[in-house]
Amino acid sequence: MNNLSRRKLIGTGLAATAGAAGLGVAARLAQKYGLVPPDHGGIFGLGETLTYASQRLLTSHSLAREFSHSQISKPPLANEMAPLPDVFKRLQAGGFADWRLSIDGLVDRPASFSLAQLKSYPSRSHITMIQCEEGWSYIAEWIGVPLHHVLDAVGVQPHARYVVYFSIDKYWWDSIDMADAAHPQTFLAYGMNGDELPVGNGGPLRMRVPRQLGYKNVKFITHLTVTDSLKRFGKGLGSASPESGYAWYAGI
Amino acid sequence: MAELESVGAPLAASVPAPASSVPAATIPSRHFLLVRVTHWITTFCFLALLVTGTEIVISHPRFYWGETGNVLTTPLFKLHIPSSRALVPSGYGYVLPDQNGWSRYLHFQSAWIVVLTGLLYVLYAFFTGHLRKNLLPAKSDLSLRAFWTAIAKNLRFRRPPAAEAWSYNLLQRLAYLFVIFVLFPLVIWTGLAMSPAFVSAFPVAVNSLGGQQSARTLHFFVSLALVLFLLVHVAMVFLAGFWSRTRAMITGRAATTTPTEHP
């Protein structure tokens, strides 16, 4: 072994050690500052972690683009849907008067709200785009109560990290981190284009997360849980989406 | 770094001469190690992006201009292929299986790897002179006449002389520069312009393109341009001698025994 190759070998060894140590430190820092998504395991973990960490560093507080009234898509598209459960049809027959939204988990005052109670909070609206991961999109005016108002009402505990939300269709649930949950444009939406939210678009109550793709905007919300860990929910991947192959973080 | 400084006209002295008498080992590298490694990482990522991108398009093979578009609006154009979603009126009586989940995971992971690889390559090209020596055309080649001569030469579809195996010709240089500094940045930009979170922080990325659906349509066309480059590139490799050129890009060894003087 001549000098050059020995020097090269030592240099490569040092670089590899430094690289591995650097990655280790980076992984711990990322974990500490909440830059690791729940579906970080497996072969696509690298890409998902890079995407989520970059978005959290760059876009935590940025606002989704808003549009003018003239840009609202007419008619609004209602995506195809799985058949609704009987319990939904019974509530629908009663004009959703008995629809309840329950909130538990890391909150000081677990509570259950009727739609009327949610509507008694200051109503907000924004004209934003909903984008399906398939490629299509539409713009609508979304009316509702900002999620953070409701979370403030029940008193979120300081170590909360995620809000998990469940549809009346029990196979459909998802979660967002506190950056999106506390975001001013994240709504529990009950209205659309100046009217009630149509069932086809998620009425009577839909989670509206305008900085993420359509599938994070779960329809027919009945239950929220505030938590510090997603491990106990389903397969621990953060939502039903990764269980069927789709990324948990859909801000891309 | 000394032995790496020699792509075009390598100096025999800069090459470590092993004691063995294997003649091939005395031939200097045609391509730097970093160029070879980034070339193949890019190749695999591009193929992954192409397959998964096609898969994503199949879920909605319609393209629009402006901010929004869906099955209720008029498309700019549509691809006459079956779709993986029943929502899309494709004209076919069946729906393809939904493969969007892993396709999207792999698309973004490959995008990350190819972007980081590309950055490494560009930094390397700037700081080692690879860009100046091997990619930017020589001053003498910067005339319309040189350009037409190069095109005429290429159109004869003859195997290039052995001497050409040691440097990129004018058209190659222009094509590579266009891919590296125009098509790749455009495909990254139009891709990011479709991300709802990214454009919340940088709305100009999508507003300047005319809207989110315009960005999607442009992303499709830039991808087509990259596929066109890939086809021509592979055709040229075949023309020049597939095994010798491919081996040069894998092992670094060119087919010719002695590199001739490079202008």
Where do the structural domains in chain A lie, given as residue ranges? 65-243
Please tell me the total count of domains within chain B.
1
pLDDT tens digits, A135-147: 999 999 999 999 9
Exposure of A185 by Cβ count < 10 A (0-12 exposed, 13-18 middle, 19+ buried)?
buried
- If you average pLDDT over residues A19-39, what whole number do you get? 84
pLDDT tens digits, B152-167: 877 777 777 776 777 8
- Residue B45 domain flag: no
Tell me whether strands A111-114 and A124-131 are parallel, antiparallel or unpaired: unpaired
User: What pLDDT shows up at residue B8?
Assistant: 40
CB < 8 Å to A213, chain B: 196
User: What pLDDT shows up at residue B27?
Assistant: 60
Q: Which of A48, A135, A212 sits opposite B59 (nearest CB)?
A: A135
Q: A48: pLDDT confidence band, cut at 50, 70 and 90?
A: very high
Calculate the average pLDDT of chain A. Answer: 92
- If you average pLDDT over residues B57-67, what whole number do you get? 97
Q: Which two tokens stand for residue B59?
A: 């879920």
pLDDT tens digits, B182-191: 999 999 999 9
A160, pLDDT greater than 90? yes
Calculate the average pLDDT of chain B. Answer: 85
Q: Which of A131, A135, A245 sits opposite B101 (nearest CB)?
A: A245
CB < 8 Å to A244, chain B: 101
Put simply, whether B19 touches A (Cβ < 8 Å) is: no
User: What pLDDT shows up at residue B11?
Assistant: 38
Subunit contact B69:A137, Cβ cutoff 8 A: yes
User: What pLDDT shows up at residue B25?
Assistant: 47
Q: How far B114 CA lies from chain A's nearest CA (Å)? A: 11
**Can you tell me the distance from the alpha carbon of A34 to that of A161, in angstroms, rounded to the nearest whole number?**
8
Q: A2: pLDDT confidence band, cut at 50, 70 and 90?
A: low
User: What pLDDT shows up at residue B9?
Assistant: 39
CB < 8 Å to B209, chain A: none
**Can you tell me the distance from the alpha carbon of A227 to that of A156, in angstroms, rounded to the nearest whole number?**
9
Phi, psi of B253 (to 5 degrees): -95, 130
- If you average pLDDT over residues B234-238, what whole number do you get? 92
Instruction: Choose the weakest-confidence range: A53-67, A235-249, B86-100, B133-147.
Output: B133-147
Instruction: Choose the weakest-confidence range: A181-190, B79-88, B191-200.
Output: B79-88
Q: Which of B68, B104, B207 sits opposite A246 (nearest CB)?
A: B104
Q: How far A241 CA lies from chain B's nearest CA (Å)? A: 9
Q: A4: pLDDT confidence band, cut at 50, 70 and 90?
A: low
User: What pLDDT shows up at residue B116?
Assistant: 97
- If you average pLDDT over residues A5-33, what whole number do you get? 79
- Residue B86 domain flag: no
Q: What does pTM read for this prediction?
A: 0.87
User: What pLDDT shows up at residue B16?
Assistant: 43
Q: Pick the residue with more confidence: B5 or A71?
A: A71
* C-alpha dihedral (B47, B53, B58, B59), degrees to nearest 10: 140
Tell me whether strands A221-227 and A100-105 are parallel, antiparallel or unpaired: parallel
- If you average pLDDT over residues B184-209, what whole number do you get? 97
Q: Which of B34-48, B78-92, B130-144 has the highest mean pLDDT?
A: B34-48
User: What pLDDT shows up at residue A47?
Assistant: 94
pLDDT tens digits, B125-137: 999 999 988 889 8
CATH 1.10.10.60 is the classification of domain A65-243 = no
- % of chain A at pLDDT higher than 70: 97
- If you average pLDDT over residues B22-36, what whole number do you get? 70
User: What pLDDT shows up at residue A14?
Assistant: 80
User: What pLDDT shows up at residue B12?
Assistant: 39
Q: B48: pLDDT confidence band, cut at 50, 70 and 90?
A: very high
Q: Pick the residue with more confidence: B161 or A151?
A: A151
User: What pLDDT shows up at residue B148?
Assistant: 83
User: What pLDDT shows up at residue A3?
Assistant: 57
User: What pLDDT shows up at residue A102?
Assistant: 97
- % of chain B at pLDDT higher than 70: 85
**Can you tell me the distance from the alpha carbon of B68 to that of A218, in angstroms, rounded to the nearest whole number?**
21
CB < 8 Å to A79, chain B: 87
User: What pLDDT shows up at residue A232?
Assistant: 93
**Which of B77, B104, B110 is best to mutate for the A interface (most A CBs within 10 A)?**
B104
Residue range of the domain that includes B235: 139-263
Instruction: Choose the weakest-confidence range: A137-151, B107-121, B122-136, B196-210.
Output: B122-136
pLDDT tens digits, A93-133: 999 999 999 999 999 999 999 999 999 999 999 999 999 99
Degrees to nearest 5, angle at CA B189 with B221 and B200:
125
**Can you tell me the distance from the alpha carbon of A188 to that of A193, in angstroms, rounded to the nearest whole number?**
15
Subunit contact A252:B101, Cβ cutoff 8 A: no
Subunit contact A44:B68, Cβ cutoff 8 A: no
B140, pLDDT greater than 50? yes
- Residue B2 domain flag: no
Query: Which one, of B39, B25, B28, lies nearest residue B3 by Cα?
Result: B28
Subunit contact B60:A135, Cβ cutoff 8 A: yes
Give the 3-state secondary structure of chain A. CCHHHHHHHHHHHHHHHHHHHHHHHHHHHHHHCCCCCCCCCCCCHHHHHHHHHHHHHHHCCCCCCCCCHHHCCCCCCCCCCCCCCHHHHHHHHCCCCCCEEEEEECECCCEEEEHHHHHHCCCEEEEEEEECCCCCEEEEEEEEEEHHHHHHHHCECCCCCEEEEEECCCCCEEEEEHHHHCCCCCEEEEEECCEECCHHHCCCCEEECCCCCHHHCCCCEEEEEEECCCCCCCCCCCCHHHHCCCCCCCCC
CB < 8 Å to B49, chain A: none
- Residue B144 domain flag: yes
User: What pLDDT shows up at residue B14?
Assistant: 40
Subunit contact A4:B16, Cβ cutoff 8 A: yes
Give the residue from chain B lying closest to A42, CA to CA.
B105
- Residue B204 domain flag: yes
User: What pLDDT shows up at residue B126?
Assistant: 93
Q: A246: pLDDT confidence band, cut at 50, 70 and 90?
A: very high
